[in-house]
Chain A
Amino acid sequence: MALLGSFSLLLALALSAYSFAAGAFALLRKDHPSSERLAETARRAGIATWVAVTTAAGALVVAAFTNDFSLAYIMQHSNRDLPAAYKFAALWSGQEGSLVFWSWLLATYGLIMRLRHKVDVRLVANASVIVAAVQVFFLALINFAAPPFSLVKNVPPDGNGLNPLLQYPEMVVHPPMLYLGYVGFTIPFAFALAALIMRYPGEKWIHITRRWTMVTWGFLTVGIFLGSYWAYKVLGWGGWWGWDPVENASLLPWLTGTAFLHSVMMQEKRGMLKVWNVWLIFSTFLLSIFGTFLTRSGLVSSVHAFAQSGIGPWFVVFLSLIFATCVFFYMKNRDHLRSEHRLESLASRESSFMFNNLILLVACFTVLWGTLFPVLSEWVQGTKVTVGPPFFNKVNIPAGILLLILTGIGPLLAWRKTSIESVKRNFILPLSAGVLTAVLLIVGGVRPWQDSSYFYALVSLSLSAMVIVTIVSEFYRGARVMRTQTGQNMLMSVVTLTRRNTRRYGGYIVHFGVVVVMIGFAGAAFYQNTEKELGKGDSMQIGTYTLTVDSYTQDDKPNYTSEWAIVNVTKGGKHIATMYPERRFYKASQQPATMVANRSTLKEDLYLVFSGINQDTGRPIIKAHLNPLVWWIWAGAHFMMIGTIIALVPNAQPMKVTSSERVRAPARAVEDSSAQIAVGSGTHFSGTQIGTSTNQVSGQSGRLASSTDSLADNPAGASD
């Protein structure tokens, strides 16, 4: 296996280097008669790279399943009694294996891109060269700096086993999702750089990469939430986000990627923010690589003591090279990135996107700044300081609230310009919902003046209500028009509406998911916890729950020994559940781990941890947390995913307007069917553009001007 794996990796490096060199040469010497054939060989070498990397990754997995402890990597991350799923997960559990996995994912993305090269042969050829360059870096890293097939001198009878914290089902899925996100941003980056290098005309590259970006963003989102869920279920401290440097590293490209997904719409529809978008996607890719560097270099201390080694300098060189390349081509071709339109009003969809981008980037900067400040402090002051949750919460909660406000306001603004009357008309209902929620919360006992966390919770929940009403009214308005058109019932109208503009309504569902997540976050303000030594029959109280220990028991499994408590939970004297908080001791790694018992409801989670046994008294210690609204976080993540999937589905039955109708009665068509356009497909309205083009066909400038204004003010039609 070691020989096969090592050879495959070396072959993969040679193939990707050829793919890069031949591809680059073919593009540079495009007048040469053989350039097309050379480019085709480069593409095929890229495809062959996937075969070689897959063989190497397969060899490592087979070695894990066959307990080949002659490989240092398998010896360190597996053992004989490790369950099969975790043996498979061993592939990405350590430094070397995870780099192989990273390379394999990149090769797979590259494979899909190269197989679909007919979408635009030249653009894909350019992007393929860039992907090959990134591939060369990672393959060079695993061939020379972190080889996964190193052999041990004395083969031990058993391995050290997998880190107990990684032996959870979520950990089998979480890293691949996260890596799919990190690695996936290579593709939109490659297309963006390729489009800049070749001065690609128009916005087609954005249309091509839109799905890549959304899929990648979706994977990263799932990865982040799965990591959060794992931290909640496994680490046993009752929280879901600790602002650990490695957690932060995953958040950085997510924030810039989210900003890109929004601002790219301005380029697609209005030809604006071209420089901004190019740099946003460059930054997203750079931050993905930077996050990887942060995770593995040991630059900052992290609770994820993940495989640190001396590969840091490799990443520094690679990051510098990418940055220099981006700057070089930007400087060379920046005139190609001129905006086609101007921003006309602060009260417009464009400006809401700008502010959305600003807040997301400030949040990104804040997270990066806080993560790196300990290093900066040590460099400047000579003493290291800690930048932990209190800092991040204080500086990021206001940013989150501002984003929530923009999520509510954005859909109500039209492209180009929104009239004050329109703003007033559209804001009354959402604003009333927000104020009513605030009043109800205060009446219900939330006292924002008592604690800053209560204040933020009140603001978040009120704004969440406002945004939900905005989203629901967007669906309602559209569905009402659809019902008039099709005669369907309201529910079917919503379905048809969504199918006709999946991107817009899928986007709303993502926003809805974000709001639901925010509601879950707001619940943290009302968190309670308690800890007590409990013998058999002893009880303790948390919130409205009474916890009584029925008994303690032990078990011995091949992979671990365990002890757990049987806890009866009563509420108002009525038995509602029996819970089993557990503590395990893994034999191979000689490390303990907790298995949290969690009873989750819409209102709150009752979260029990077997903390250990008091050495003095011999009595077990049970820690209980009451975490309000946590269920909403996971539910919101599901909505975000559903929305992303819907947005990826192509539109059904786009509304067709025949050319004869356009020529004969454009003004009437626009005027009479403004709502229809809004429902059928109409996302993006530019009064001037419609006005200009249709106007000159009909010569009815006055009527058109007013009709397009009314379109611009129509929120159902103006939203995306």
Chain B
Amino acid sequence: MRSPMRRLVPIRWLVSALRSLQLALLAVVVAFTVGASDANTRLNALGHEMMCQCGCNQVLLECNHVGCTVSEGMIAELKTAINSGAGDDQILQQFVDKYGPVVLAAPTTTGFNRVAWIMPYLVLVLGLALCVFFVRAWKHRRPALAAPAVPMPPDAAGLDEYRRRVHQETEI
């Protein structure tokens, strides 16, 4: 019989593994946050989270219109906002207030917009579940046209039928 202490060992491992994961996640978050604090990085990141409002339907920093004055003005506004010390969320909100929600290059994760983000993953999970369900169902289902388990008829027609099947499946 296993001792209670022995039984606890896997739980301890699990706890320490979870703690390690927690620390790793924290490190990643810190790394991302620290990286994002640089003004140029922030400009690049925020400029790619917004759309140019000249009607070109392109990301702000990628507007290709020759001499587009709208993107120039918006980029200048963005630089000013970053230099003023405002946070990323605050800056994005400023732009939404001025240009409307269409200025954001992707839906927010609030309200109905959440659905935009959830659906692809939901469909993936449902699809996976369906696949597993079908595989399990098929494994336990008899085939509609099972291969005949009778001895091969000696006549040529019977041989031809088997040859056809072998050919279909092996291309020999």
**Which A positions have Cβ atoms within 8 angstroms of B?**
203, 235-239, 242, 244, 268-271, 301-303, 338-346, 351, 354-355, 358, 361-362, 365-366, 369-370, 373, 377, 380-381, 383-391, 394-395, 399, 449-452, 501, 583, 592-594, 609, 611-613, 654-655, 657, 659, 662-663, 677, 680-686, 688-690, 692-694, 696-697
Closest 4 CB pairs of A and B: A388-B105, A696-B152, A391-B106, A338-B144
B89-107 interface bits toward A, Cβ cutoff 8 Å, 1 = contact, 0 = none: 0000000000011111111
Q: Which B residues are in CB contact (< 8 Å) with A689?
A: 147, 165-166, 169-170
Residues A681 and B170 in contact in the complex (CB < 8 Å), given A373-B107, A692-B149: yes
Contact indicator A690/B166 (Cβ below 8 Å): yes
B13 adjacent to chain A (CB < 8 Å)? no
Main SS at interface, chain A = mixed
Known: A384-B102, A689-B165. A244 touches B57 (CB 8 A): yes
Q: Contact at A449–B27, with CB atoms within 8 Å?
A: yes
Residues 129-172 of B, flagged 1 when their CB comes within 8 A of A and 0 if not, give: 00100110011011111011101100000010011011011111
The answer on a CB contact under 8 Å between A387 and B116 is yes
Across the interface, name the chain A residue whose C-beta is closest to B162: A693
Instruction: Given A451-B32, A681-B172, A685-B170, verify A594-B66 contact (CB < 8 Å).
Output: yes
27 interchain pairs, CB-CB under 8 A:
A237-B63, A238-B62, A239-B62, A303-B58, A339-B138, A342-B139, A343-B134, A358-B127, A358-B128, A369-B119, A369-B120, A370-B116, A381-B111, A385-B101, A388-B51, A389-B59, A390-B106, A449-B28, A450-B32, A450-B35, A452-B32, A609-B64, A611-B67, A677-B172, A680-B172, A693-B152, A693-B162
Residue of B nearest to A596 (CB): B64
Taken together as a complex, chains A and B put the C-alpha atoms of A390 and B120 apart, in Å, by 14
- Residue B5 CB within 8 A of the other chain: no
Write the nearest CB–CB distance from B144 to chain A, whole angstroms: 4
**Cα–Cα distance between A397 and B104 once the two chains are bound (Å):** 20
Question: What residues of chain B lie closer than 8 Å to A399, measured between beta carbons?
Answer: 124
Q: Given the complex of chains A and B, what is the CA–CA distance between A655 and B170 in angstroms?
A: 11
How many pairs, one residue from A and one from B, have CB atoms within 8 Å of each other in the complex? 190
Residue pair B166, A342 in contact (C-beta under 8 Å): no
Are B64 and A377 within 8 A (Cβ)?
Answer: no
Contact B57 A301 (CB under 8 A): yes
For the complex, what is the distance from the CA of A685 to the CA of B62, rounded to whole Å? 51
- Chain A residues near B123: list those with CB within 8 A: 362, 365-366
Contact, CB under 8 Å: A694 / B32:
no
Residue of A nearest to B63 (CB): A237
A611/B66 in contact, CB under 8 A: yes
| Chain A residues near B121 (CB-CB < 8 A) | 395
Asked whether A677 and B170 contact (CB < 8 A) given A385-B104, A391-B116, the answer is: yes
B49 part of interface (Cβ distance < 8 Å) = yes
Question: What is the total number of residues of chain B having a CB less than 8 Å from a CB of chain A?
Answer: 63
Kindly state the separation between the CA atoms of A688 and B121 in the bound complex, as whole angstroms: 38
Q: What is the CB-to-nearest-CB distance from B83 to chain A, in angstroms, rounded to a whole number?
A: 18
Whether A342 pairs with B64 at a CB distance below 8 angstroms is no
Given A611-B66, A662-B163, A682-B171, A343 and B139 contact (CB-CB distance below 8 Å): yes
Binding site for A on B (CB under 8 A): 27-28, 31-32, 35, 48-49, 51, 56-59, 62-64, 66-67, 100-108, 111-113, 116-117, 119-121, 123-124, 127-128, 131, 134-135, 138-139, 141-145, 147-149, 151-152, 159, 162-163, 165-166, 168-172
Of chain B, the residue at the smallest CB distance from A396 is B120
User: Whole-angstrom distance from the CB of B131 to the nearest CB of chain A?
Assistant: 6
CB closest residue in chain B, given A683: B171
Chain A residues within 8 Å of B100, by CB: 383
Q: How far is the CA of A346 from the CA of B131 in the complex (A)?
A: 10
Q: How many Å lie between the Cα of A343 and that of B131 in the bound state?
A: 11
A593 to B64, CA, bound (A): 9
Nearest A residue to B105 via CB reads A388
Q: Looking across the interface, which residue of chain A has its beta carbon closest to that of B141?
A: A342
Given contacts A237-B63, A384-B102, 17 further A-B contacts (CB under 8 A): A238-B62, A340-B143, A345-B139, A346-B135, A366-B123, A377-B116, A386-B105, A390-B49, A395-B120, A452-B32, A662-B163, A677-B170, A682-B170, A683-B170, A685-B170, A686-B169, A689-B165
Q: Which residues of B contact A355 (CB under 8 A)?
A: 131
CB distance from A652 to the nearest CB of B (A): 13
Least Cβ–Cβ distance between A360 and chain B, in angstroms:
11
A270 to B32, CA, bound (A): 50
Q: Please indicate the chain A residues that have their CB under 8 angstroms from the CB of B172 in the complex.
A: 655, 657, 677, 680-682
Residues from chain A with Cβ under 8 Å of B35 in the complex = 450-451
